[in-house]
Amino acid sequence: MLKNRSIPAVVLSVLLAGTATSAFAFDWKAHEGETVSFLANNNPWSQAVLSYKDEFTALTGINLRVDSYQEQQMRQRLVTVLNSGSDEIDVFMTLASREGQQFAASGWYADLSAYTQGSVAPEYDFAGVSPALVKAATFDGKLTSIPLNLEGPLLYYRTDIFEKCGLAKPASLDDVRAAAEKIKECDAGVTPFASRGLKPAIAYTFSNVLHNMGGTYIVDGKSALCAPAGQKAIAWYGDLMREYGPPGAANYSFYQISALYRSGRAAMAFESSNELRTIMEGGERLNDTDVIPLPAGEAGTVPTAIGWGLAISSRSARKDAAWYFVQWASSPEMQKRLALQGVASPRASVAAEEEYKAWIAEAPVRASWQAALGVLASDGSSEVGYPIIANPESRDYIGQAVQDVLLGQRSVEEACAAADSALDGLIARK
């Protein structure tokens, strides 16, 4: 009888019953014979995970039909299919920081909250997924995707060049600029600083600068690029790239930055944590590079931390089977395997795995990369561009303002005023 038991005993028995239920009731073969279609962005995560897809079919009996495209082409197909109300796609990759608000407002995401609480294998450990990334993927209380990786821009810098030029590890944004100035005098053969200059790509790196300066994109419902912190951030980024960046910086994205740094032609590169593997290819940069979060500005260090997620289409007719694929692909075991291939995991527990620790210990740069990722996970902001439905379009105006300064076509005041005016229109748009 309940009244004869102590409260802790009741709680314990309920917890154990819950554990027992999920441990024994979960059946990986529950959807055997069904087919799930997956629309993938052809990036390192999907390439790595899809190399194990036969294991998924063997485990569940579910057939996986994969369509894989480059990011923009994938988004183009996704929007066309979802807009038409088709149930053709069951699972798709999504970037919550970019299209999350738009897709959520359009009703294109299935709510995954109930799945994470009910239909999970005992080893899944949803609570172990980065709470910051889960929060970033939650719109109006609905969980729209399961985080797959953790990424953000980091500062890669050449320790040998810094030593030759008598420079210490940069501790502030001013130090970065001072270091670029010194390197330009000390070693004319290298580009002092490289970051993204391609208009649609700038918001990814610029947002980190803005947040470190203490800025934010919207204040009292209005665009705030012309606020003091916004102006300082535009000036810092635009001037640095114009004066110390590579020739043709206005066309620079991850591809050019990684190639330049890997070839030994850049002293500092502010680029995605995902690029570690590309930058270290060939091993030339393995022993002369340190990786740190972007040094502090007036508001300290507020790194950008985002991640791709796996979502289930609200139009899907096979949501339960689709969840099995999502669960398998985002499981602790799979994320450990991917981490060993340089895909940073959104699960903190992966860093404690022996295999992973051994991989990290193989090169000092991996240890500093892991430490920097720790800062991203704990202090990161996922605000890349304006937190509005028209986020992708807002990134264009941010990029335009920075590019105007980078190319010397407008002053900071003119550039931010033009951007604020256009962005106020976007914020007002419903």
Partner 1 sequence: MTPGSTNSQGRQLAALSAPAVLFTVAMIAFPVVYTIWLGFHAFSSTGEASFAGGANYAALVADGEFWNGLYVTFALYALSMVLQLVAGIYLAMLLFHSKRLSGLLRSLLISPFMMPPVVAGMMWLVILDPSLGAANYILVSLGLPASEWLASPTWVIPTIALIDTWQWAPYVALIVLGGLQSLPPSVYEAAQIDGASPFRIFRRITLPLLLPTIVTAAVLRSVDLLRFFDIIYITTQGGPGNASNTLNIYGFRVGFEFFNIGYASALMITLSAIVLAAVLVLNRLRNAVAW
The residues of the shown chain that bind partner 1, judged by CB under 8 A, are 72, 75-76, 79, 83, 102, 105-107, 191, 197-200, 246-252, 256, 259-260, 263, 265, 389-390, 392-393, 396, 400, 403-404, 407, 409, 430
Q: Which amino acid is at 245?
A: G
Cβ distance to partner 1 smaller for residue 381 or 400? 400
Supply the DSSP string of 318-359, one letter for each residue: -HHHHHHHHHHHTSHHHHHHHHTTT---SBGGGGG-HHHHHH
Least CB distance from residue 3 to partner 1, whole Å? 52
Q: How far is the CB of 408 from partner 1 (least distance, A)?
A: 10
Are 346 and 150 in contact by the 8 Å Cβ rule? The answer is: yes
Q: Residue 190: which of 217, 167, 213, 207 has the closest Cα?
A: 167
Q: Please tell me the distance from the alpha carbon of residue 385 to that of residue 100, in angstroms, as a whole number.
A: 12
Q: Which residue is it, tokens 């919550």?
A: 96
Nearest to partner 1 of 170, 246 (CB atom) = 246
Least CB distance from residue 206 to partner 1, whole Å? Answer: 15
Please report the sign of the dihedral spanned by the C-alpha atoms of residue 384, residue 387, residue 389, residue 393: negative
Which of 266, 377 has the CB closer to partner 1?
266
Nearer Cβ to partner 1 (145/330): 145
CB of 195 to partner 1, least distance (A): 14
User: Phi-psi category of 59—alpha, beta or left, where left has phi over 0 and alpha has psi -120 to 50?
Assistant: alpha
| Number of CB atoms found within 10 A of residue 26's CB | 17
Asked if residue 259 lies in contact with residue 267, where contact means CB atoms within 8 angstroms, the answer is no
Would you say 57 or 80 has its CB closer to partner 1? 80
Q: How far is the CB of 100 from partner 1 (least distance, A)?
A: 13
Q: Judged by CB, which is closer to partner 1: 158, or 199?
A: 199
Structure tokens at 62: 């579910």
Separation CA 219–CA 81 (nearest Å): 36
The CA distance from 165 to 197, in Å, is 26
- Provide the minimum distance between the beta carbon of 179 and partner 1 in the complex, in angstroms, as a whole number: 19
Strand partners, 64: 36
- Supply 377's token pair: 């996970």
Residue nearer to partner 1 on the CB measure, 8 or 189: 189
Shortest gap between Cβ of 102 and partner 1 (angstroms)? Answer: 6
User: Nearest approach, Cβ of 83 to partner 1 (angstroms)?
Assistant: 6
Question: Is 57 or 76 the residue whose CB approaches partner 1 more closely?
Answer: 76
